[in-house]
Amino acid sequence: MSWIRRHLLAFVAMAVLAILLVPNVVVALFSFNKPNGRYNYEWIRPSADAWLNPCGTPGICDALGLSLRIGITASVVATVLGTMIAFALGRHRFRGRAATNMLIFMPMATPEVVMGSSLLTLFIAMGIPSGAVTILIAHIMFCLSFVVVAVKARVSSLDPRLEEAAADLGAGPVATFLRVTLPLVAPGIAAGALLAFSLSFDDYIITNFNASPNSVTFPMYVWGAAQRGTPVQINVIGTIMFVLSVGIVLTAQFVSGRRAKAA
């Protein structure tokens, strides 16, 4: 009985995992397709054309470049600002903590379409034209809360005795921070930065409200292509992103695992 139950759980879990991964497999498969028309939804015949020429469709690599630039800038700024807030919340007692927690939480509890449209009304009221800058402002805003949550989890679980030990051994506040605190919090900061980058890189709804025809990000390009006919290059880039991210995450774990064993 317990044997059946255990394997039933494994079976259901694997089925759900399959649901999560099937779209990635389909995207990869269809990156080797050679469609007849503009729509890459039907398998016609195998071809590596798109892989040999990933920028072969006009605008696709410009959009990719813009998304990368915005994603990197937004995640750097959000990570710096968010880490500072996380340290304030995790290490200090101060007036207005509850209000601060609330303000951090609110963007995560607001639908994207509301955040995007409210920012649009602000930019309209202030007469700021939409473009890469307004996209960047919006992305920093919605990434911030996620960075705070990721870093704060790490800061809160930090053992204060380690820093006290450093101080007892004669390290000043700066040396303690740089050589003890920061390395211990680093995994949280890295997780926050990675999350911020992927949120920014992938955002369509908020971006769409704050973009102009001259600032087309990759998700906006994909959205536009979905109406006109999706080029196979989109599948190629989707596949590269998947392989690259899984590779990076697994390598990071492998490296940190080895370091942990060596220590």
27-56 binders of other proteins (CB under 8 A): 27, 30, 41-42
Nearer to other proteins, 42 or 49 (CB): 42
Stretch that binds other proteins, among 45-53, 54-62, 68-76, 237-245 (CB under 8 A): 237-245
Dist CA 39 CA 231 (whole Å): 7
Residue 49 CB, shortest distance to other proteins, in Å, is 18
Residue 125 CB, shortest distance to other proteins, in Å, is 5
Residue 23: partners with Cβ closer than 8 Å, 6 or more residues away: none
* 74-93 residues near other proteins, rule: CB under 8 A: 81-82, 84-85, 87-88, 90-93
Helix (H, G, I), strand (E, B) or coil at 47: coil
Dist CA 53 CA 250 (whole Å): 28
By CB atoms closer than 10 A (0-12, 13-18, 19+), residue 6 is exposed
**Of the residues 118, 162, 186, 258, which one makes contact with other proteins according to CB under 8 A:** 118
Q: In whole angstroms, how far apart are CA 122 and each of 84, 117, 161, 241?
A: 26, 9, 47, 34
Report if residue 169 touches other proteins, rule: CB under 8 A: no
Neighbouring CB atoms inside 10 A of 172's CB total 10
Opening angle at CA 154, ends 150 and 155, nearest 5: 110
**Of the residues 48, 124, 165, 169, which one makes contact with other proteins according to CB under 8 A:** 124
Residue 136: partners with Cβ closer than 8 Å, 6 or more residues away: 70, 73, 74
* 179-198 residues near other proteins, rule: CB under 8 A: 195, 198
Residue 182 CB, shortest distance to other proteins, in Å, is 14
Report if residue 24 touches other proteins, rule: CB under 8 A: yes
Residue 94 CB, shortest distance to other proteins, in Å, is 4
* 209-228 residues near other proteins, rule: CB under 8 A: 209, 218-219, 222-223, 226
